[in-house]
Amino acid sequence: MILKIVKYPEPVLEQPGEPVTEFNGELRKFVADMFETMYASQGIGLAAQQVGVAKRVTVIDLSLGKDPAEKLVLINPEIILSEGRQYEEEGCLSFPEIREKVVRAAKVRVRAQDENGKWFEMDGEELLARAFQHEIDHLDGVLFIFRMSALKRSLNLRKIRKMQSEGIW
């Protein structure tokens, strides 16, 4: 089932997610719906807040659904190591049309649970490292506009207000 993706400034986007404690059929259905929703919007990452649910659940797939081996489910994830620096352009399904360079660590290691509750660790570099950091930020209620410089943020907020006034946001 394709879920509705909420856009900024929907308050749930800035709400930190509750940890998941029950790994049941309902959770697995939610994860499957999140993948379906993300693929329908051509995204590479989606956090639960973006479909209106403040829980620590995110899905990532850099292959856009082409390679099942690239499907990642991260539940209750945390970054346990980060190193280096990268400065690349990011987008976000809750900010259509907005793309901006954001500073991130170049490499990170995440610790997370899968949809059965099993803990695992995984390293990511470059785009995958950015996806991990962007999505885990979402779970903390942190949006990528708050990772931009103050100038870029105000320019983008102005752009959003203009789109809102034109009824295209």
Q: How far apart are CA 71 and CA 115, in angstroms?
A: 12
- Name the 3-class secondary structure at 8: coil
Whether residue 113 contacts residue 52, with contact meaning beta carbons closer than 8 Å, is answered with: no
State in angstroms the smallest separation of the CB of 46 from Ni ion.
8
Q: How far apart are CA 40 and CA 93, in angstroms?
A: 11
Nearest to 93 by CA among 69, 129, 60, 126: 60
State in angstroms the smallest separation of the CB of 69 from Ni ion.
23
Name which of 20 and 139 has its Cβ closer to Ni ion. Answer: 139
Is residue 135 annotated as part of the catalytic site, yes or no? Answer: yes
Site string for Ni ion, 78-117 (x = CB under 5 A): --------------x-------------------------
Determine which one of 90, 100, 115, 135 is catalytic. 135
State in angstroms the smallest separation of the CB of 90 from Ni ion.
8
- Name the 3-class secondary structure at 155: helix
State in angstroms the smallest separation of the CB of 10 from Ni ion.
12
Enumerate residues 38-77 that contact Ni ion by CB under 5 A.
none
Name which of 20 and 92 has its Cβ closer to Ni ion. Answer: 92
- 102, β-bridge pairs: 88
* Cβ within 8 Å of residue 78, ≥6 positions away: 110, 111, 112, 136
Name which of 92 and 102 has its Cβ closer to Ni ion. Answer: 92
Task: Dig out the tokens for 34 from the structure.
Answer: 């999140």
**Could you list the active site residues?**
135
Question: What does the binding site for Ni ion look like in residue numbers (CB under 5 A)?
Answer: 92
